[in-house]
């Protein structure tokens, strides 16, 4: 196979995962807060729990905080390792 053909195959095999929305949050023992992520084009059964640092810059995170004003307040007042 030619180099350009191999690059096209590799590009097709790479999956880009896009956050559709954040649906929940939880506090872990001795762990920072985590957020349940719904992925675009994936069913709810494929949702994953992600640490704050991996979602904090996403628009979906901002929207989630808008829907959860108490949590927003805690983020405004404390550091990112929010505990319950």
Lowest mean pLDDT among 16-20, 26-30, 75-79: 75-79
What totals of helices (H) and strands (E) does the chain contain, helices first? 4, 3
Would you state the pLDDT for residue 45? 96
Q: Under 8 Å CB-to-CB from 39, ≥6 apart: which residues? A: 17, 18, 19, 20, 46, 47, 48
**What's the chain's average pLDDT?**
81
The model's pTM is: 0.72
Q: How confident is the model at residue 76 (pLDDT cuts 50, 70, 90)?
A: confident
């Amino acid at each position: 196979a030619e180099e350009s053909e191999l690059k096209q195959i590799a590009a097709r095999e790479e999956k880009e995962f896009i956050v559709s929305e954040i649906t929940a949050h939880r506090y872990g023992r001795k762990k920072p807060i985590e957020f349940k992520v719904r992925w675009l084009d994936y069913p709810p059964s494929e949702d994953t729990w992600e640490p704050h640092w991996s979602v904090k810059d996403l628009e979906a995170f901002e929207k989630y905080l808008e829907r959860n004003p108490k949590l927003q307040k805690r983020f405004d007042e404390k550091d990112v390792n929010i505990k319950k």
